[in-house]
Amino acid sequence: MIGTFDFDVARDFGTALLLGALIGIEREKRNAREGFGIAGLRSFVMLAQVGAVAGYLATSLAQPWLLPTAILAAGGIIVAGYTAAARTHPDRLGLTTELAALLTMLLGALATTGHREVAIGLGVGTAALLAYKQPLHALVGRLGWEDLLIGVRFLSAAFLVLPLLPEEAIDPWGAIRPYTLWLLVLWISGLSLVGYIATRWLGQGRGIAITAATGGLVSSTAVTLTFAKQSREGSAHPQTLAGGVLLAWAVMFGRVLIAAAVVSPSLLQPLLWPFVSTMLACAACALWCLLQGRNAQPAPASAVPLKNPFSLLAASKFALLFAAVQLLLVAGRDYLPHGGVYAIAALAGLTDVDAITLSMAERANANASEIPVAVLAIAIAALSNTMVKAAIAAFSGRGLARPIVLGTAVAVVVGAVATWLSAR
């Protein structure tokens, strides 16, 4: 705007300047540490501003050739700097700084051509990628080929298989919609994948509490079985192991709450009080057990045998289980007495709480009148699953029966009371 101050233009140029400074500061600090670099703070700020000016002029003057010309000119300067550095420091060749410089210029252009939010997101992400060089390399070092292949399979299932599935129901009762079913499978697998990555990042066996918390995101049943086995071997105090088991259960309740709320946001409020109360009850019992065993001889937690939570076979099995639960719920609604759905929830929870959780969340999302039924069914399934794991720990572990039974009793009572109060 001629003769007046255009705040939007100033904001766009300011965004470009700050993004250049953000990336430039990281590069200059890195150059100072490594004793080598072709560009620092000032260079990156100027590159961002060149991109911003070129983008602004190309848009306001309707001369789109200005932007690619500026990019080519800056690219030539970057190549010249790289060539000079290669001659003087041939043992330190790399493309990170050069690519960051080119990207910084493009981010400046994005900021002044109507894509400021995209530029900010990419700029912050780029700065984080550059700053966390060592942790990222360490993470890659912990990953094996099997982890990489399973990541590819997960992406293939999400972006190749999912778009091919029909969105309409394929059964006479309208219960099974392949697209929705597979989407829910990907969601629960992705949630488990987060826990798996956290475990690989932190390392297994770094302490019972850490092992239990990260393992609970993937499989609280696996944590229960592993700690029960460790109690029989006598490698850790039973109270400490019981605390780890209860902590994994607390994480499981939080995981179920998140899974249900993402599928059906309307379930968040009615489920929040019952599940947060139960989660806190488990966490409190876990803390008490861990404090009871704090004076015992410390022993590292056994590595929980967690497999990568996504494989096409495992996903297909879960999809079949989910479809079976969907059909059972339809049958329970149409042919069984009023409590049929709750009986199915209790039975489904004996083996897996995720399938019934997603099934009821999907029903609640499609029909708001199903919300009270879904809340009670999910709570019943979660408590049923907890009691099964308590039986496993009490009967297969040594010294776990008393703390696990007491912790389970507290969790079940708190969960039942909170669910009842929430349903009133």
Per the structure block, which two tokens stand in for 270?
A: 């009615």
pLDDT for 38:
60
Closest CA relative to residue 186, chosen from 350, 307, 314: 314
What is the Cα–Cα distance from 408 to 255, expressed in whole angstroms? 18
- In this structure, are residues 236 and 299 in contact, taking their beta carbons and an 8 Å threshold? yes
Per-residue pLDDT of the chain (424 residues; tens, 9 = 90+): 445 667 788 888 888 889 888 888 887 777 666 655 566 678 788 888 888 888 888 888 888 888 888 888 877 777 776 676 666 666 556 667 778 888 888 888 888 888 888 888 888 888 888 888 777 777 677 667 767 777 788 888 888 888 888 878 777 766 677 887 787 777 767 766 766 666 566 555 456 777 777 777 777 877 887 788 777 776 667 888 888 889 989 998 998 898 888 888 888 888 899 899 999 999 999 889 888 866 654 445 455 555 555 666 667 776 777 777 777 776 666 666 556 788 888 888 877 788 888 888 888 888 887 888 888 889 988 888 889 888 888 887 778 888 888 989 998 899 888 888 876 6
pLDDT for 90:
61
pLDDT for 277:
92
Closest CA relative to residue 359, chosen from 333, 389, 390, 336: 333
* φ, ψ for residue 369, nearest 5 deg: -70, -15
CB atoms under 10 Å from CB of 17, counted, come to 17
pLDDT for 1:
46
Q: Where are the domains of the chain?
A: 7-131, 144-423
Q: Which residues contact 206 (CB under 8 A, 6 or more apart)?
A: 300, 301
Distance of CA 41 to CAs 31, 54, 291, Å?
A: 10, 20, 50
